[in-house]
Structure 1
Amino acid sequence: MEDHYCLYLALALVSLLVVIAKRRRAHGHGLCLPPGPWQLPFIGSMHHIAGKLPHRAMRDLSRRHGPVMLLRIGERHLRKVAVTELLSARRVLSFRAVREEEVAALLRACATCAAATGPGGVVEMRARLSALVADATARVVVGDRCKDRDVFLRELGRAIELVAGFNPADLWPSSRLVGWLSGAVRRAERCRDTVYGILDRIIEEHLVEIDSGRAGENEDLLHVLLKIQKEGSLQIPLDMDVLKAVIFDIFGAGSETSATTLEWALAELIRNPKAMRRATAEVRDAFGTLGTVPEHALGELRYLHLVIRETLRLHTPLPLLLPRQSREEACRVLGYDVPRGATVLVNAWALGRDERVEVDLKGADFELLPFGAGRRMCPGMAFGLANVELALASLLFHFDWEVPGLADPAELDMTEAFGITARRKANLLLRPILRVPVPGL
């Protein structure tokens, strides 16, 4: 009799599995969907990554479910392409104008701290580096330092926080209640209004310069965009709101990522004294007789370039790159169908940490993609690298660096913060020791 019960139970379980399989296939409209972790109602797969850094959590999940996974986060279906299957990355992703004035301002600030005693000799690197990159970006984009730089940077930071992770209003877009309770929409609108108010004043000044013919050789990116708008040479209209959104995106992408990379590079050199000594010796041997770091000669610093490249590999500024959306009716990756409208995430952080490969970072080798690849590859790669190269070389040339109260450099806290960019969780506090006089002091 017990054997009969076991048989009935087995048949019932098989029937249940068949029904579940049919429902899953029907849900996918006959598509062969990628595997993924088990889901819960309403939140989907969120419990698998909650409380963790998304790029690390997804890397761990991919080790169990494979390099192509289907996750549901709220109402969003995310297809996550990750880790070691390079073919899948290829399938999905088939002005150098830094002014030395910004770097000089940073060096003078550090030299002032180096001359101080006690707590005053410590530099909060994040604030200094953010201001440096913001000023350099401002010169290229709007032609001069932004008079409202501090307010602009504050709102930029808030905007980055709003898109830092899985915002409830984005995960459940059909629910007005969720959007209202999260308050994200209201905060985003306040941030936008403040930033656009600053940009309105800058645009008005540029329009006056264009109409009077005073732009001349000092044309910046905003001058160019305004002329394109006036000529109407684009196939799509470039209205003022779109133009301001473009400018804000350039500041966000150019400032946050470059400052984050600089901070990580200094932190990695602090943790590795041998690498710090070698990089410092290289830049001082190259430019010691000049007393400063010339921008045009940065190509001589081969080891420094390797340091920056390794920093981008270990600490990809945008670990999951910018989200893509599948627009094809039938797109197959590694034998799986990608539903139309699915959000596609590429874990560039995990790809860069595959120890089996050695590649370039310009987007042709899909194992290392700090700037993305394909048509949506970062157009500001050269500008971003210039921001990092000149600043880092100058900081190493003029100063030795130490962490107050840290006996063992290997114990430096390297915890990442949660966000769209993988910045350091703790501010990097360093004491500069002046070795080579800073010009102008």
Structure 2
Amino acid sequence: MDLFTIIMLQSLFIILLIIKWQYSKPTNKNSPPSPPRLPILGNLHQVGLFPHRSLKNLAEKHGPLMLLHFGNVPVLVVSSANTAEEVMKTHDLVFSNRPRRKMSDILLYDSKDIANSAYGEYWRQIRSLAVLHLLSNKRVQSYSRVREEEAARMVETIKEFASSSVPLNLSEIFSGVTNDIVCRIALGRRYRGGGEGCNKFQELLLEFGELLGTISIGDYIPWLSWLNKVDGSYKRASRVAKRLDEFLDQVIAEHVSSGKRKEQEGLTDNVDDFVDVLLSVKTSSAVGFEFDTITMKAILLDMFAAGTDTTYTVLEWAMAELLKRPAVMHKLQDEVRTVVGNRSNITEQDLVHMNYVKAVIKETLRLHPPIPILVPRESTKGVKLNGYDIEAGTQVLVNAWAVATDPKCWDQPLEFKPERFLNSSVDFKGCDFQFIPFGAGRRGCPGVQFATAVDEIVLATLVHHFDWDSPAASKEVDMSETCGLALHLKSPLLAIATPYYE
């Protein structure tokens, strides 16, 4: 018998032992309903290209609290408002941990960011720092001028092409304006279209978002992690992480140098971007833990992960729905143009009076949540959930899209109807569990106001200045999806803009 045959037989024997151990563990636990699973893979083969849809289909057969296995990792899938409330409110503390993900470790400094760090004192400290110093209501409102200026700049860009009736790539426009807003607020200036370094940063962010949204087989079947090395995804992530790290080091160094110059010249400019705010916190010892440069860079990358890709996809889906529904578009335009009157530019004070704008954004978030399956949670100890036994170390996937399209909670759930929010107190701030695009509880997204402020001003500005039409002869809009970090339109959204004159 040759060496190759011996190795193959030994490998087969080990695999058979793993399968036997996996399926023969005695248990007297009352586990949630679970579909049949394959050896080794478990239920991974049932996830599909669009997990939010395939998991909803499985939940319709097995229930809103369903236990899957990804490899040998138990994964609890939550698909209803009641079960979501159990996880994110009643037992929020138990389910406040994050599972370790190799891609997050590579891209986010060993998962030292807010979204992916393990539950504990470190996470509490950095989340408190971000909420207090970066994402407070007062701080978000202080950046209104930046959002208004970039929205006005976007209008001038569109006007250059509007007169020629050439279809505009709205996906590209939304990505650009969102990136410019976040760059100015976080880093102090735009990093797009301003030279080779700026263009490279834009490319890096796109690749960063794509990689962060990928699933690594090694996270669920460790002995198959070599596959991620073979396909080059880990190497690619390491390259992106290194280049982003070098870029952020350069940005921080520029801010330190600028701060010293202002101090020497006796300038008293207000701190108005995230890097300056974080440097100020770092030097003032205003936090009760060791706040180093690595932590600062991890927080800054979180701002881009949560503030760009997931923010502009809301604009993309909102305009796609409006192009399909001219009556809804006209109603939105009437509200915006009535509020603004003869003035050319919209201010954020105007948005207070635009209830239909807010309703359109809410309905878009309901039907097209940017992250349809919320960032995974993990149980820290065993717990009873709806009468079922949930073991410690169980991962939890909350299918926010399934919850938001549940006919038990919503009338005509798959229809785009902004009017449903006009006389409703239901909101996305984490108290109404039938509508949780930003999550809820301890692990809810702290940047809700930051993201919605961008979406509202950009959408209102677009419909104020222009009339819009689909370039397709059939007037149909391709609503096909594609998954990454956020749920995007598969094809770029094209539209024809006609300047509006009273």
TM-score range, shorter chain: 0.7 to 0.9
Return the offset for 1:27: 5.1
What is the alpha-carbon distance in structure 1 between the residues aligned to residue 306 and residue 438 of structure 2? 11
Q: Which residue of 2 aligns with 1:39?
A: 37
Verify the 8 A CA contact 1:209 1:215 in the aligned structure 2: no
Verify the 8 A CA contact 1:134 1:255 in the aligned structure 2: yes
Return the offset for 1:162: 1.7
- TM alignment of 1:146-185, pairs within 5 A: 146=191, 148-185=197-234
Amino acid at match of 1:348: A
Q: 231-240 or 346-355: which moved more?
A: 231-240
1:131 aligns with 2:176: yes
1:342 aligns with 2:407: no
Question: SS of the counterpart of 2:77?
Answer: strand
Return the offset for 1:26: 3.8
Q: Which residue of 2 aligns with 1:15?
A: none
Q: 289-298 or 148-157: which moved more?
A: 148-157
- Pick closer, same or farther for the CA change 1:287–1:23 going to 2, 3 Å: closer
Amino acid at match of 1:432: A
Verify the 8 A CA contact 2:281 2:287 in the aligned structure 1: yes
- TM alignment of 1:68-217, pairs within 5 A: 68-86=65-83, 87-89=85-87, 90-93=89-92, 95-96=140-141, 97-98=143-144, 99=146, 100-117=148-165, 121-146=166-191, 148-212=197-261, 213=263, 216-217=269-270
Cα deviations by residue, 1:6-30 (Å, 9 ceiling, x for unpaired): xxxxxxxxxxxxxx9x9868455x4
Question: SS of the counterpart of 2:401?
Answer: helix
Q: 165-174 or 376-385: which moved more?
A: 165-174
1:316 aligns with 2:369: yes
Q: How many residues align?
A: 409
Amino acid at match of 2:369: T
- Pick closer, same or farther for the CA change 1:149–1:327 going to 2, 3 Å: farther
Verify the 8 A CA contact 1:169 1:182 in the aligned structure 2: no
Q: Which residue of 1 aligns with 2:287?
A: 234
What is the alpha-carbon distance in structure 1 between the residues aligned to residue 152 and residue 26 of structure 2? 60
Amino acid at match of 2:42: G
Return the offset for 1:269: 0.6
1:253 aligns with 2:306: yes
Question: SS of the counterpart of 1:217?
Answer: coil
- Pick closer, same or farther for the CA change 1:210–1:32 going to 2, 3 Å: farther
Question: SS of the counterpart of 1:379?
Answer: coil
Q: Which residue of 2 aligns with 1:11?
A: none
Return the offset for 1:400: 0.8
- Pick closer, same or farther for the CA change 1:211–1:339 going to 2, 3 Å: farther
- Pick closer, same or farther for the CA change 1:312–1:113 going to 2, 3 Å: same
What is the alpha-carbon distance in structure 2 between the residues aligned to residue 83 and residue 420 of structure 1? 23
Q: Which residue of 1 aligns with 2:403?
A: 351
Greater Rg by CA: 1
Q: 33-42 or 184-193: which moved more?
A: 33-42
Return the offset for 1:415: 1.2
Amino acid at match of 2:90: R
TM-score (structure 1 length as normaliser): 0.87
Cα deviations by residue, 1:22-77 (Å, 9 ceiling, x for unpaired): 9868455x432222111111211012123x31011111111111111111123433
Question: SS of the counterpart of 1:414?
Answer: coil
Return the offset for 1:149: 4.0
Return the offset for 1:210: 3.2
User: Which of 464, 489, 497 in structure 2 is aligned with 1:424?
Assistant: 489
What is the alpha-carbon distance in structure 2 between the residues aligned to residue 343 and residue 234 of structure 1? 31
What is the alpha-carbon distance in structure 2 between the residues aligned to residue 150 and residue 325 of structure 1? 38
What is the alpha-carbon distance in structure 1 between the residues aligned to residue 374 and residue 35 of structure 2? 22
Q: Which residue of 2 aligns with 1:398?
A: 465
Return the offset for 1:193: 1.0
Verify the 8 A CA contact 1:76 1:343 in the aligned structure 2: yes
Verify the 8 A CA contact 1:169 1:185 in the aligned structure 2: no
- Identical residues among aligned pairs (%): 33
Question: SS of the counterpart of 1:158?
Answer: helix
What is the alpha-carbon distance in structure 2 between the residues aligned to residue 172 and residue 414 of structure 1? 34
What is the alpha-carbon distance in structure 2 between the residues aligned to residue 27 and residue 161 of structure 1? 41
Amino acid at match of 2:66: M
Q: 68-77 or 196-205: which moved more?
A: 68-77
Amino acid at match of 1:163: L
What is the alpha-carbon distance in structure 2 between the residues aligned to residue 264 and residue 339 of structure 1? 38
Return the offset for 1:129: 0.7
Verify the 8 A CA contact 2:340 2:350 in the aligned structure 1: no
1:56 aligns with 2:53: yes
- Pick closer, same or farther for the CA change 1:91–1:346 going to 2, 3 Å: farther
Amino acid at match of 2:394: A
1:280 aligns with 2:333: yes
Verify the 8 A CA contact 2:310 2:486 in the aligned structure 1: yes
Gaps of 5+ in 1: 1-19
User: Which of 477, 495, 501 in structure 2 is aligned with 1:412?
Assistant: 477
Cα deviations by residue, 1:276-317 (Å, 9 ceiling, x for unpaired): 110011111111221221222111111111111100000001
Q: Which residue of 2 aligns with 1:379?
A: 446
Return the offset for 1:92: 5.0
Return the offset for 1:215: 6.7
User: Which of 433, 437, 441 in structure 1 is aligned with 2:498?
Assistant: 433
Q: Which residue of 2 aligns with 1:12?
A: none
- Pick closer, same or farther for the CA change 1:164–1:374 going to 2, 3 Å: same
Q: Which residue of 2 aligns with 1:388?
A: 455
Return the offset for 1:339: 1.8
Amino acid at match of 2:487: A
What is the alpha-carbon distance in structure 2 between the residues aligned to residue 176 and residue 272 of structure 1? 47
Return the offset for 1:157: 1.8
Q: 414-423 or 171-180: which moved more?
A: 171-180
